[in-house]
Homo-oligomer: A and B are copies of this chain.
Amino acid sequence: MKKLINDPEQIIDEMLDGIVAGSPDDVRRLEDTTVLVRKDAPVEGKVALISGGGSGHEPAHAGYIGKGMLDGAVSGEVFTSPTPDQVFEAIKATDSGQGVLLVIKNYSGDVMNFDMAAELAESEDIKTAQVIVRDDIAVDDPESRRGVAGTIFVHKIAGAKAEAGASLEDVQQTAQKVIDNTRTMGVALSPCIMPTSGEPGFELADDEIELGIGIHGEAGIEKRKHMTADEIATELLERLLPEMDLADSDEIAVMVNGMGATPEMELNVFNRKVQSLLAEKGVKVYDTTVGNFMTSLEMAGCSLTLLKLDDELKELLDAPSSAPAFKK
């Protein structure tokens, strides 16, 4: 498989430099780290938001750095959680004294590494709080659910809350509210290729798709013979809606997220069915976003995220953001 890269060992380093070279007025890289932060970090008087995880999910996470979203993003190797020292650097560079919220996706590695960073921060009297995103309903046990595309809603809404001057506790609470109201499920049509090995990250037969797959190729709910976009949309929605606990008056935000190699044409074909099913079922859609937000390199497929909104969440979702991957 051909890739537009140089040395696979240098890929993260070069990507980070490339991101900064593309937005030199907006982000900077902390020297000798894999941490990107807002150019103006630490932002005086504001709670900072940090996210991160393994690389390969671009534009997550660095694309969400900006006014109204993240203050910093920490990148690990491809699909590998970053180490505590890196996260700690991000914390130190973004804390303005108001404390730092760590947005963590629920993977053992991320949870442990961010937690160790929080311990390091505590030892230097920097206040941190954590939220753990677990929106992927492909996993039964709610405690074990993985964090996937719903993370973007957490960045957006908690980021807007922080920008509005809320305290660390309040930002954390709002982030937790988003997490409690967000559910996602995805599907893979073909695997991504790991840059180091040049091998596919997992196996899918030519006529197979995998429902509920994770963003690192972790097993999903089941492999199926190929289905149409409408069938997939129906299946995902039918699993998501019972989890949403929607009252008649509730409005939701919808995110149709491409996994990397699926053309936007197809994401829109998929979105058409999602929206018509929601309309049929009488679910009110307040806002829809279609695009590549939490990818798995060049995996083909998509995920569908639903977020139940209230007045606070609506206002924060609509608030301005300068983050390149989620401008509002």
Interface residues of A (CB under 8 A from B): 2-6, 11, 14-19, 21-23, 55-56, 58-59, 63, 189-190, 192, 206-207, 209, 226, 228-230, 232, 256, 260-276, 288-290, 292, 295, 297-298, 300-302, 327-328
Contact = CB atoms under 8 A, between A and B. Distances in A.
Given A5-B229, A18-B275, A59 B269 contact: no
Contacts of A56: 263, 265
Contact of A3 (B16, B55, B256, B266): B266
Contacts of A228: 5-6
A232 B16 CA distance: 19
B268 A58 contact: yes
A270 B307 CA distance: 35
Contacts of A273: 18
Nearest to A195: B265
Chain A facing B: main interface SS: mixed
A295 B260 CA distance: 13
Contact of A265 (B55, B230, B264, B268): B55
16 contacts: A2-B189, A3-B189, A11-B269, A15-B272, A16-B268, A21-B271, A22-B256, A22-B268, A22-B288, A58-B263, A59-B264, A63-B264, A261-B261, A262-B298, A263-B295, A263-B297
B229 A263 contact: no
Nearest to A266: B4
B15 A297 contact: no
A272 B22 CA distance: 8
A143 B63 CA distance: 38
Contact of A298 (B55, B263, B295): B263
Nearest to A6: B228
A21 B260 contact: no
Nearest to A193: B263
A295 B209 contact: no
Contacts of A263: 56, 58, 192, 260, 295, 297-298
Nearest to A279: B21
A228 B10 CA distance: 12
A114 B298 CA distance: 35
